[in-house]
Structure 1
Amino acid sequence: MDLGQTYSSRELYIEVVSGLIPLYGESEARQLGKLLLESYGIAFEKIMIDEPVFFSANSKSDLDTRVDMLHHDVPIQYVMGKAYFLDVNFWSIHRCSSPGKKPKNW
């Protein structure tokens, strides 16, 4: 049974960001990396001082899935499960219709 592993927070950040740079550019990839890791309790301050972080096997798998979703052009709001607007969190549903399409029962 794999209980997890300790990672270098900086190396984890670099791993996430380096995979996103070709798709999003350096600046946006860095912001996406920060958002993803913050959702796991890894603040950018921890990355700056390279604080070791523990990830369970499930959490690491979940992070890898989220990064893969970004590689497939899934918007960050769907990847994170929420959107920020005017300092308010809105929970998003991954499989909702696009704004241009109304469901048949409307």
Structure 2
Amino acid sequence: MRTVPYFHNMIGILTETGHDSPSPRIYDPKVFPKTLAARANPGGVGIVVEEEISGVPDARVQYPYPWPGGESHFSEPVNFMVTGSVAVLRAASDSRLKWLTNIYQMGRDA
């Protein structure tokens, strides 16, 4: 279902967040992994970025708000997804005419 927008002249946004349990968890920053790896393609083709970190990394372009660790509640990822969804709806509402015109032109020219 995630590829439906590609083929039906729609805008689709794929997001993901996770929390493995509804009960709170405590994560110690001292046991964070020493290597932060971001792989564009797990099959080995493409860009592979690995950088050494110690504990919590500093903020940077690819990782602007590093999580410092501590207690994590199930409500945090839920709030994160709700905030992101509302932001997308607000952006669509603010640019409604431009988006509708562009989608019309894209369908007309296809």
Larger helix percent: 1
TM-score (norm 1): 0.29
Larger radius of gyration: 2
What's the TM-score once normalised by structure 2's chain length?
0.28
